[in-house]
Structure 1
């Protein structure tokens, strides 16, 4: 047993370039002794949930499944806004309650278990229902999933801060992303392989069941983290804090303009499902196409994030501007090709390529706006910015999703054009923001 622990410590030291005494900055000595074990438990559990996220991604897989069971397009329009805002808004209500707990890993375990139930529920619904009933039931499961995800998001940051030293946390996230990226590609290739045979709703349901099981396994692994009791004071009601600081929108013009820009840049997150719907309409619902979408999205994230990250360190507003223009230009080009070059609308390659380019653009939007808001201010002012920003964007996501749903009743292409126009306005607005680097 001791030998296994020694090997684990050696691997930890190797991955983190620890040559002499182990560095444990910002955590106590007691936690330091448990760091190697905790490091790999967090790595594996997050790797599993990242793969689960990919295999149940609202932008690709859930859109595909809802369309496959003939759920109304209007309901499909809501799945991305619900997924994003549903995990964001509850954090503002419950964070201060969670932070009153001396040990918080079990909050993450509970959240992961609830996500397992919610995603498994989607698999059962896809197997058992069709049409509007299936659509509404999947929406309810997705709401439960998003709320549960909020629990994990809060607890993860706290547990990470208590168990993993500074200057090791970024590498941990990096290793998680790298391994998850490889697994995502493997999943996409597996779907391509399976698509050679007859594939029906049973295959997609089993795919969702497998994804749900990953959260259950992750919960069991995460429960083994050695977390020592920590501080329980100082937690604040995020919603109350955000409400009290809404005056920032009136007093702080740069911040107000950033919120407007960020709202317009939601186009990069909301557009993806409509490319999936176009592909199913013009090309078909063969499983290999879903495999191509998963691979395209995964590769886009892997190759673009480091590039956008370096650019954001030089000028995050330019990253937001370029990414928004890429999103908008892509949407207008795809719709233009479908409308004016009819021979291209049934070309298989068009839609995975479009999703690949959109994935690159969305990474730029995410990294650009995250870097910008961090660089805008320091200390408490930064905390205020994040609280107000997340609150407003959570509500704006739902409103925008509602407008997209209404527009989708008339034309899927029309929604893409509408979101592209918002992207152009967002790019212009972003270019007028002050440099903060």
Structure 2
């Protein structure tokens, strides 16, 4: 009896949550969903959002651009390890995807792949926490970076599976709002986490706050995995499974023949300059505005607030026009870089942490919009049976672009943080223009047989 009551409560919560994102003026269009998937959409949205909120929290607590540099500093790891964090994260999550996409295609249900990937991320984060608690110096740096590499590879596998599950369980036209709700709730949790970080890490030299942060990130991913395991997914296409080499050839063929898809990959590669620019916005501000801008708690809170405030808007915009969402968000990202450069070169009376803060907020809002726009575009655009390959070749290409971006960042000693921001700002602006010129997601693939 109590079990049935629990089920009824969950169904009631799922229904209310779905009503919050579903426009009453719209009929639920489930033509693009397989089988009887429409009947379980509210429940799937509940578990999808729950999973996403907790994994977003985990990602913020183990962010390689903000949190992990402080972790490595706390254990006395050499500075070289800090420079490896973002490239290892991006390359690890993006480059190997073609190797697993063919295998994922042979599975009628792809949600278990995401769940096992999240479980692997729990193990990786736990190893990081143990390393911080018990190791120091070079050894601690090696373990943390190795665990980050494992975390990133698992993230890449999950990314291929997630987009396919999303397309099979949430109707087109509502996916952007579901992604936005995940980010919003995760952002609210991140604000609370940031307040804790600001009150403990920033005021303490002990390691325990970092161990607690990473342990909480592992717990968040465990909750996310448990929630996603409840998603009810219909069987999908399994024909045409390919080995890694054949999958790579197929992906290259799509890039060569599908001009709109190729343009999307180029635009996304240029917009990659936005997250790469954020550390240099910090460095430029520390050098030219206020040395205290590196406060870890401030970073976590600013990123979380940006996601919380902007995600609902970006989600609805992405459902209307995902490529225009990328473009407008990219324009905001370019504006963030221009604003940072302007304040950094303004008269002394105008330069302060408060006047510089909008650069961080604009960059965070813009990054959220680019992510929601390109995820929605890549879920809605490809044909169902080839979606894993499209996702994998796109992400692998971006992984290669990340290496190039990291090489540009390595020139900071020669160009300075301001010079790097000029380069990245130009790339972001060009990416926004190319994104604006993309066709709608429904027209990305000209011929399903290509």
- C-alpha distance in structure 2 between counterparts of 1:411 and 1:132, whole Å: 27
| Alignment correspondent of 1:305 | 311
1:283 equivalenced with 2:297 (yes/no): no
1:206 equivalenced with 2:212 (yes/no): yes
| Alignment correspondent of 1:53 | 59
Change (3 A) 1:377 1:239: same
Change (3 A) 1:94 1:413: same
> In the TM superposition, what is the alpha-carbon distance from 1:330 to its structure 2 partner?
3.0
- C-alpha distance in structure 2 between counterparts of 1:307 and 1:224, whole Å: 28
**Aligned with residue 273 of structure 2, among 259, 267, 274:** 267
Structure 1's unaligned 5+ residue stretches are none
Which stretch shows the higher mean deviation, 216-225 or 399-408? 216-225
- C-alpha distance in structure 2 between counterparts of 1:321 and 1:167, whole Å: 19
Change (3 A) 1:16 1:334: closer
> In the TM superposition, what is the alpha-carbon distance from 1:128 to its structure 2 partner?
4.5
| Alignment correspondent of 2:446 | none
| Alignment correspondent of 1:365 | 370
- C-alpha distance in structure 1 between counterparts of 2:229 and 2:421, whole Å: 43
| Alignment correspondent of 1:421 | 426
Equivalent pairs, count: 430
- C-alpha distance in structure 2 between counterparts of 1:161 and 1:316, whole Å: 15
TM-score, length-scaled by structure 2: 0.76
| Alignment correspondent of 2:18 | 16
Change (3 A) 1:60 1:225: same
> In the TM superposition, what is the alpha-carbon distance from 1:61 to its structure 2 partner?
1.6
Change (3 A) 1:338 1:34: closer
- C-alpha distance in structure 2 between counterparts of 1:312 and 1:16, whole Å: 18
Structure 2's unaligned 5+ residue stretches are 442-450
Task: For 1:89-168, list aligned pairs within 5 A.
Answer: 89-102=95-108, 104-129=110-135, 133-159=139-165
- C-alpha distance in structure 1 between counterparts of 2:257 and 2:105, whole Å: 31
**Aligned with residue 83 of structure 1, among 81, 85, 89:** 89
| Alignment correspondent of 1:400 | 405
Change (3 A) 1:408 1:93: farther
Change (3 A) 1:134 1:410: farther
Change (3 A) 1:350 1:389: same
Deviations 1:212-250 (A, max 9, x none): 122234334555666677664344457634534535666
Change (3 A) 1:92 1:377: closer
Change (3 A) 1:380 1:294: same
Task: For 1:1-40, list aligned pairs within 5 A.
Answer: 1=2, 2-17=4-19, 26=33, 28=35, 40=46
> In the TM superposition, what is the alpha-carbon distance from 1:396 to its structure 2 partner?
1.3
Deviations 1:392-431 (A, max 9, x none): 2221112222332343587444433332233344455556
> In the TM superposition, what is the alpha-carbon distance from 1:134 to its structure 2 partner?
4.2
Which stretch shows the higher mean deviation, 10-19 or 48-57? 10-19
Change (3 A) 1:266 1:41: closer
Deviations 1:58-78 (A, max 9, x none): 232223434555655554344
Which stretch shows the higher mean deviation, 242-251 or 149-158? 242-251
Change (3 A) 1:224 1:285: same
- C-alpha distance in structure 2 between counterparts of 1:327 and 1:189, whole Å: 26
| Alignment correspondent of 2:445 | none
Change (3 A) 1:327 1:38: closer
Partners of 2:408 and 2:420 within 8 A in 1: no
